[in-house]
Amino acid sequence: MQAKTYDPNTAFLLEMIPGFFGLLGIGYIYTGRTNDGLIRLILWIAYDVLAACIITALLAVVVGLLCIPIQLLVQIAVPIWSASTLKSQMTVSPAA
């Protein structure tokens, strides 16, 4: 029985392009190396999920740290502005 030959360029493209989209191992599966392909596929998907969770958590912390001071400033500044506006309106033109 003659071994099936595979085009190395096709295997390369099938490994690289789906790999960019989280499907590493497709090239190995194409060439008949199913175990290697499935191991790469499962580990790459697990890595992608873990990386997305870590990035999301870090982003939430960074955004939170940036937004808390802004929120505190708004919570203090808006009531002062509102009270000042009310006071100035009351002193300029008395209520009818």
Tens-place pLDDT, residues 26-51: 999 999 999 999 999 999 999 999 99
Global pTM value = 0.64
HEC profile for the chain? CCCCCCCHHHHHHHHHHHHHCCCCCHHHHHCCCHHHHHHHHHHHHHHHHHHHHHHHHHHHHHHHHHHHHHHHHHHHHHHHHHHHHHHHHHHHCCCC
Instruction: With a cut of 50, list the residues of the chain below it in pLDDT.
Output: none
Residue 84 corresponds to which tokens in the numbers above?
Answer: 């000042």
